[in-house]
Amino acid sequence: MTTFSVPGAELDTEFSDEHGHPVVQLHGLTSSRYRDRLLDLDLGRGLSGTRLLRYDARGHGRSTGRAVPEDYRWEVLAQDLLALLEHWFPGERVHGVGPSMGCATLLHAAVADPDRFAGLTLLVPPTAWESRRLKSADYLRAADVVERRGIDTFVAAGRLVPRPPATVDAPETVPDVSEALLPTLFRGAALTDLPEPEQVARIDVPVTILAWVDDPAHPLSTAERLAELLPDARLEVARIPADVARWPQVLADDVARHGR
């Protein structure tokens, strides 16, 4: 494992070199490489024969970050990603995979540098556009709860929210973010949104969208809208844990197909 410097942060990275197609794997808000592994969202575990780069986003896991909400806007995370790709895979087209915040980061990066990606596997897209405005208020309230009552209160409140049926077998986890920095991350999430629909519609690479049902933070409506907007997209919807268990193979198939 090595670190990579970006403005305002040191990113903790992990690289597995099996001399194949380049792949980069991202994670979601408040998560990390380690936490996504626990949540069965480490789709890279099903890959072989690739050059796989995993990393913790700024402020998450083992990466550092500043208490500046604007640092955690998805556009900034996309610039971090593009800098990493230029370092590890200069001049190459990469396959990108990631859930939620990672999905959003990949979309922003693909808008900023359309020639960088050979394909994308997007997991559980987050709230966007109309639904994002409502979710932003939730993030601001969560930031206040952590500051005033502590992370334990925030985690306890999260236990009261019903899980999506496709995730009922996943173990209980806690944010892989320091308590001091967590309110800043939430405020940063409240400031950001997916690229505008007309920008998304110009991302002309093969995309697989993997969504699940009954999750207000990752509504099926966002996944369906992305599938309509993207020129070359297909959507798969998980309803039970066995559907999610297939996702590593979906990624492996995507990389084999898009990396030719």
pLDDT at 260: 66
pLDDT above 70: percentage of residues in the chain: 100
Chain position carrying tokens 């995507």: 254
Tokens of residue 207, six digits: 């995309």
pTM over 0.95: yes
Mean pLDDT for all residues in the chain = 96
Express each pLDDT in 28-76 by its tens digit: 999 999 999 999 899 998 798 999 999 999 999 999 999 999 999 999 9
Least confident of 9-13, 46-50, 64-68, 225-229: 46-50
Instruction: Label residues 183-212 b or e (16+ Cβ within 10 Å = b).
Output: bbbbbbbbebbbbeeeebeebebbbbbbbb
Q: List, in order of start, the domains of the chain with CATH numbers.
A: 2-258 (3.40.50.1820)
- Phi, psi values for residue 161, rounded to 5°: -85, 125
Instruction: State the Cα–Cα distance between residues 55 and 34, nearest whole angstrom.
Output: 10
Query: Could you read off the pLDDT of 197-212 as tens digits, one per residue?
Result: 999 999 999 999 999 9
Query: Which residues have a Cβ under 8 Å from the Cβ of 140 and sit 6 or more positions away?
Result: 186, 187, 190
Res 258: pLDDT: 80
What is the maximal distance between C-alpha atoms in the chain? 52
- Give the Å distances, CA to CA, from 169 to 78, 177, 180, 241: 31, 23, 30, 7
Give 163's pLDDT tier (boundaries 50, 70, 90). Answer: very high
SS3 content of the chain, % helix, strand, coil (to 5): 45, 20, 35
Both tokens of 146, joined, read 């952590």
Q: Strand 21-25's sheet: what is its strand order?
A: 2-6, 9-17, 50-55, 21-25, 94-99, 117-123, 207-212, 233-238
